[in-house]
Amino acid sequence: MDFLDRFAVPNPSIAIYASMVAIGLTVVAIFAGLTYFKKWGYLWREWLTTVDHKRIGIMYLISALIMLFRGGVDAIMMRAQLAVPDNKLMDAQHYNEVFSTHGVIMLLFMAMPFIFAFMNYLVPLQIGARDVAFPRLNALSFWLFFFGAMLLNISFVVGGSPDAGWTSYFPLAGNELSPSVGTNYYMFAIQISGLGSLMTGINMITTIIKMRAPSMTLMKMPMFTWSSLVTNLIIVTVFPVLTVALAMGSMDRLFGTHFFTTTNGGMDMLWANLFWVWGHPEVYILILPAFGLYSEIISTFAGRNLYGYKSMVASMVIISALSCLVWAHHFFTMGQGPTANSFFSITTMAISVPTGVKMFNWLFTLWKGKIRFTVPMLYSIGFIPLFVIGGMTGVMLAMSAADYQYHNTMFLVAHFHNVIIPGVVFAMLAGLTYYWPKMFGFMLNERIGKWAFWLLSIGFCLAFFPMYITGLDGQARRMYTYSEATGYGALNMVSFVGAGIMAISFAIIVYNVYYSVRYSPRNISADPWDARSLEWATHTPVPEYNFAITPNVASSQAFWDTKKKGHELFSGELEKIHMPNNSGVPFIMGAIFFVWGFSFIFSLWIPAIISTIAILVCLVLRSFEVDHGRYISVKEIEETEIKLRGVN
Amino acid sequence: MKIDHSLPLEYSTKQNDQNIFGFWVFLAAEIMLFATLFTSYFTLEHRVGNGPSGSEIFEITPVLIETLVLLTSSFTIGLGIHAMRIGKQKAMLTFFAITLVLGLGFLGFEIDEFITYIHEGATLQTSAFTAILMMTLGTHGAHVTFGLFWGAGIVMQIKKRGLTPETTNKSFIFSLYWHFLDVVWIFIFSFIYLKGMM
Ligand code: HEM
Ligand SMILES: [Cu+2]
For residue A185, the model assigns a pLDDT of 96
Contact status, residue A161 vs residue A189, Cβ threshold 8 Å: no
Whichever domain contains B151, its CATH number is 1.20.120.80
B151-190 pLDDT, tens digit each: 999 999 999 999 999 999 999 999 999 999 999 999 999 9
The residue among B21, B24, B40 with the most chain A CBs within 10 A of its CB, best to mutate, is B40
Neighbouring residues of A347: CB distance < 8 A, sequence distance ≥ 6: A322, A325, A326
Ligand 1, CB cutoff 6 Å, lining residues: A 167, 283, 286-287, 329-330, 348, 351-352, 355, 391, 394-395, 397-398, 403, 406-407, 412, 415-416, 419-420, 423-424
CA closest to A253 among chain B residues: B125
Neighbouring residues of A313: CB distance < 8 A, sequence distance ≥ 6: A219, A226
Q: Whose CA is nearest to atom 22 of ligand 1?
A: A394
**3-class DSSP assignment, residue A424:** helix
pLDDT < 70 stretches in chain A: 1, 646-648
For residue A646, the model assigns a pLDDT of 59
Residue A541: exposure state from Cβ atoms within 10 A (0-12, 13-18, ≥19)? middle
User: What is the C-alpha to C-alpha distance for residues B171 and A198, in angstroms, rounded to an integer?
Assistant: 23
**Residue B181 covered by a domain:** yes
**3-class DSSP assignment, residue A577:** strand
- How many angstroms separate the alpha carbon of residue A323 from the centre of ligand 1? 11
CA closest to A630 among chain B residues: B1
Query: What average pLDDT does the segment B19-43 reach?
Result: 97
For residue A567, the model assigns a pLDDT of 87
Report the 10 Å Cβ neighbour count for A434. Answer: 25
Report the 10 Å Cβ neighbour count for A470. Answer: 26
**Residue B123 covered by a domain:** yes
The residue among B1, B13, B18, B133 with the most chain A CBs within 10 A of its CB, best to mutate, is B18
One-character DSSP codes across A513-559: HHHHHHHS-S---S-TT---SGGGGS-SSPPTTS-SS----SSTTHH
**Residue B21 covered by a domain:** no
**β-pairing verdict for A630-632 and A577-579:** antiparallel
Across the interface, whether the CB atoms of A263 and B157 are under 8 A apart is answered: no
Report the 10 Å Cβ neighbour count for A107. Answer: 21
Quote the distance between the C-alpha of residue A528 and its chain's center: 26
User: What is the C-alpha to C-alpha distance for residues A115 and A103, in angstroms, rounded to an integer?
Assistant: 17
A vs B: CB pairs below 8 A: 113
Neighbouring residues of A437: CB distance < 8 A, sequence distance ≥ 6: A443, A524, A528, A529, A540
Biggest alpha carbon–alpha carbon distance for chain B: 63
The model's pTM is 0.95
The residue among A134, A140, A202, A212 with the most chain B CBs within 10 A of its CB, best to mutate, is A202
Question: For residue A259, which residues of chain B lie inside 8 Å, CB to CB?
Answer: 40, 44, 128, 131-132
Query: What's the total number of domains in chain B?
Result: 1
User: What is the C-alpha to C-alpha distance for residues A477 and A467, in angstroms, rounded to an integer?
Assistant: 10
Query: What average pLDDT does the segment B2-12 reach?
Result: 83
Across the interface, whether the CB atoms of B30 and A240 are under 8 A apart is answered: yes
For residue B5, the model assigns a pLDDT of 81
B26 touches chain A (CB under 8 A): yes
- How many angstroms separate the alpha carbon of residue A61 from the centre of ligand 1? 25
B57-87 pLDDT, tens digit each: 999 999 999 999 999 999 999 999 999 999 9
CA distance A336 to chain B (A): 14
**3-class DSSP assignment, residue A50:** coil
CA closest to A258 among chain B residues: B128
**Residue B148 covered by a domain:** yes
User: What is the C-alpha to C-alpha distance for residues A200 and A287, in angstroms, rounded to an integer?
Assistant: 17
**Residue B15 covered by a domain:** no
User: What is the C-alpha to C-alpha distance for residues A560 and A569, in angstroms, rounded to an integer?
Assistant: 10
CA distance B40 to chain A (A): 8
Closest C-alpha to B107, from B81, B145, B55: B145
Query: What average pLDDT does the segment B84-103 reach?
Result: 96
Give the closest ligand to the alpha carbon of residue A395: 1
Across the interface, whether the CB atoms of B40 and A248 are under 8 A apart is answered: yes
- How many angstroms separate the alpha carbon of residue A500 from the centre of ligand 2? 28
B162 touches chain A (CB under 8 A): no
Secondary structure, 3-state, A96-108: HHHHHHHHHHHHH
Domain with B170, as residue range(s), is: 36-197
**Residue B145 covered by a domain:** yes
User: What is the C-alpha to C-alpha distance for residues A122 and B106, in angstroms, rounded to an integer?
Assistant: 46
